[in-house]
Chains A and B, each alone.
Chain A
Amino acid sequence: AQSVTQPDIHITVSEGASLELRCNYSYGATPYLFWYVQSPGQGLQLLLKYFSGDTLVQGIKGFEAEFKRSQSSFNLRKPSVHWSDAAEYFCAVGANRDDKIIFGKGTRLHILP
């Protein structure tokens, strides 16, 4: 069965600093991987996804993520965060493109001015 681990519950960075949110997954075959963002009281917005091909994927809002099969990781990065990036970030894995998605517990990102 698939599972997702986000080891950091909270992350605090200063505005303008770089960001990396960690995600490790467990799945026997090639996974379908996603990052979603949830602002307070809001729904889940898809930031980016990896299905196949180039292991470095670009998403919206200047985010990118890199799939590393050897490390079972799919870390999310942004070179320079903005105050509006403060939110909760969820990594997720699916077995197929249209399969259910299994979410991690999320990482809450705080931005210092």
Chain B
Amino acid sequence: EPEVTQTPSHQVTQMGQEVILRCVPISNHLYFYWYRQILGQKVEFLVSFYNNEISEKSEIFDDQFSVERPDGSNFTLKIRSTKLEDSAMYFCASSEATAAAFFGQGTRLTVV
């Protein structure tokens, strides 16, 4: 069964450092998303991406965040200068035109 793959599964970084979270969406999907889940809280939408551009972003997705689809298979989330409050599980998701989003296993980001 096709799946969304995220790497790394766990990332520890120092405050102020840049991190890049990587995702390989399901190959025929056209819509890509990033969500995050702070420990013990609900899953929150960050950004959606379609046709090589951001289609929607939440207020969480400020100038410190960026997304990119550098090639035909990867979808990345960059946090330019991490803060302690960026510690969370980050989920990548993808969907095709007629289906719900399929989520990856997540990357747990710990900012120290």
Query: Are B105 and A90 in contact (CB-based, < 8 A)?
Result: no
Interface residues of A in 92-113 (CB under 8 A from B): 92, 94, 97-106
- Taken together as a complex, chains A and B put the C-alpha atoms of A102 and B103 apart, in Å, by 14
- Is A42 on the interface with B (CB-CB < 8 A)? yes
Interface stretch of the complex, out of B12-20, B40-48, B68-76: B40-48
Which single residue of chain A is at the shortest CB-CB distance from B50? A98
Query: Are B100 and A103 in contact (CB-based, < 8 A)?
Result: no
- Taken together as a complex, chains A and B put the C-alpha atoms of A106 and B33 apart, in Å, by 20
Which of A36, A43, A90, A94: most chain B Cβ within 10 A?
A43
- Taken together as a complex, chains A and B put the C-alpha atoms of A45 and B101 apart, in Å, by 10
Interface residues of B in 17-62 (CB under 8 A from A): 30-31, 33, 35, 41-45, 48, 50, 56, 58
Which single residue of chain B is at the shortest CB-CB distance from A48? B100
**Could you say which of A97, A100, A101 contacts B99, with CB atoms under 8 Å apart?**
A97
Known: A43-B91, A103-B43, A105-B42. A97 touches B104 (CB 8 A): no
- Taken together as a complex, chains A and B put the C-alpha atoms of A102 and B30 apart, in Å, by 19
- Is A56 on the interface with B (CB-CB < 8 A)? no
Within the complex, what minimum Cβ distance (angstroms) separates A9 from chain B? 11
- Taken together as a complex, chains A and B put the C-alpha atoms of A43 and B101 apart, in Å, by 12
Query: Are B98 and A90 in contact (CB-based, < 8 A)?
Result: no
Known: A90-B43, A103-B42, A103-B44. A98 touches B95 (CB 8 A): yes
11 chain-A/chain-B pairs, Cβ below 8 angstroms? A32-B100, A43-B6, A90-B42, A92-B43, A94-B100, A97-B97, A98-B31, A99-B48, A101-B45, A101-B101, A105-B42
Q: What residues of chain B have their CB less than 8 Å away from a CB belonging to chain A? A: 6, 30-31, 33, 35, 41-45, 48, 50, 56, 58, 91, 93, 95, 97-106
**New A-B pairs, 16, CB < 8 Å, besides A43-B91, A90-B43, A101-B35:** A43-B6, A44-B43, A44-B93, A45-B103, A46-B101, A46-B102, A90-B42, A92-B43, A94-B100, A98-B95, A100-B33, A100-B58, A101-B45, A101-B100, A101-B101, A105-B41
Q: What residues of chain A have their CB less than 8 Å away from a CB belonging to chain B? A: 32, 34, 36, 42-46, 49, 90, 92, 94, 97-106
